[in-house]
Structure 1
Amino acid sequence: MTASNDFDPEPPEPKLFSARLTPHRSLNRTGFLVLMAFISVVSFVAGVAFWMMGAWPVFGFFSLDVLVIYWAFRINFRRAKATEDIVVTASELRVRRVSHRGHVVEWVLNPLWVQFEQKSHAEFGIERLYLVSRGRRVSIGSFLGPDEKASFAKALMTALQAAKRGPTYNPVA
């Protein structure tokens, strides 16, 4: 007996499936700095050329272009902070979505009752993935490409089928 009131909680259920989905960004920080340096140099040289021709207001517009491009990339990088976590155990399917602003939305569904739906297009492949349970429809993997959605859908379906079979008893382990 211990002096504290602590007790041993049940061990966590084994995860059948766990995935963290994040938006893809092809330009890293170094690439962004190189691109912005290139755009700044080209805009500055072109602006100076126009200034020397007497069209000095054009220099300001070139500077404004650089600022707008920088601002657009900053928004793009901020939106890349969004995540979507999907965890399947034998007793629950948990979807946790964190927006780029830090807002958290979480759904906990029973994997025995969940139906997995996908909306496909003949030419473009899988467009949408949904989890449907008790009248609720949760869209998942919205920022994945069609091939990534197909791979993800296959892995998630396998995990849901394993959850529906139930835990297996292995006396040897």
Structure 2
Amino acid sequence: MIPGKSLDSAIARAATDASQRPVFDATITPHRSLGQNGFRIVMTLVCLASVISSIPFVMLGAWPVAGFFGIDVLALFIAFHVNFRDARAFERIVVTPLEVLLRKVSHHGREAIWRSNPAWTRLERESDEDFGLLGLTLVSRGRSVAVASALSPHERSGFADALGAALASARRGPDYDAP
């Protein structure tokens, strides 16, 4: 084995690792304030309230009212089902010194991938004086894609600062001193 050859390959591997090491890696998911246990509790309470409220109507002979209470419970269940289905959507943004990768997955599971070189990528902000940061867009070579739309304006502002710093760091190139 040639001693210089193994050293060259080790240096090449270290350079490749440093250039592929993420500077920024974030996954954005829509906020949902109610988990599965909360859903079960809410639906149980709504069903109990519906049954208890419909008993006097059934006793008085107005039994169709009980059916309307059932329709209300069904409508609430469908609304929660749609809400939980929409919560499966997410965005993942990975910035390395060589690439900006945005992967958007819809609630249906459809995936859209946007790739760009960080040297040619800029982050555009749409702000409003009263409401804060309304939108973020990654722009590169005439192509643009909206990011972080699931975040609130305050969260979006913090995210924009972090992503902007990551893009600036990626433009400087890989950090070979990092572990």
TM-score normalised to structure 1 length: 0.90
Aligned length: 166
Is 1:68 matched up with 2:75? yes
Higher relative contact order (CA 8 A, sep 6+): 2
Kindly state the Cα deviation for residue 165 of structure 1 after the two structures are TM-superposed.
1.4
* In 2, Cα distance between equivalents of 1:103 and 1:30: 28
Q: Pairwise mapping of residues 103-122 of structure 1 onto structure 2 (< 5 A)?
A: 103-122=110-129
* In 1, Cα distance between equivalents of 2:135 and 2:115: 20
Q: Pairwise mapping of residues 1-173 of structure 1 onto structure 2 (< 5 A)?
A: 11-12=16-17, 13-170=20-177
Kindly state the Cα deviation for residue 169 of structure 1 after the two structures are TM-superposed.
4.7
Q: Give the alignment's Cα RMSD to 1 decimal.
A: 2.0
Aligned with 1:25: secondary structure? coil
More helix by share: 2
Q: Return structure 1 stretches of 4+ with deviation > 3 angstroms.
A: 9-12
Aligned with 1:81: secondary structure? coil
Aligned with 2:120: secondary structure? coil
Which residue number in structure 2 is paired with residue 4 of structure 1? none
The residue type equivalent to 1:18 in the other structure is D
* In 2, Cα distance between equivalents of 1:155 and 1:72: 35
Kindly state the Cα deviation for residue 167 of structure 1 after the two structures are TM-superposed.
2.3
Query: 1:72-110 CA deviation, whole Å, 9 max, x = no partner?
Result: 101100110111100000011000011111100000011
Aligned with 2:119: secondary structure? coil
Aligned with 1:127: secondary structure? strand
Aligned with 2:139: secondary structure? strand
Name the % identity: 45
Structure 1 residues without counterparts, runs of 5 or longer: 1-8
Structure 2 residues without counterparts, runs of 5 or longer: 1-11
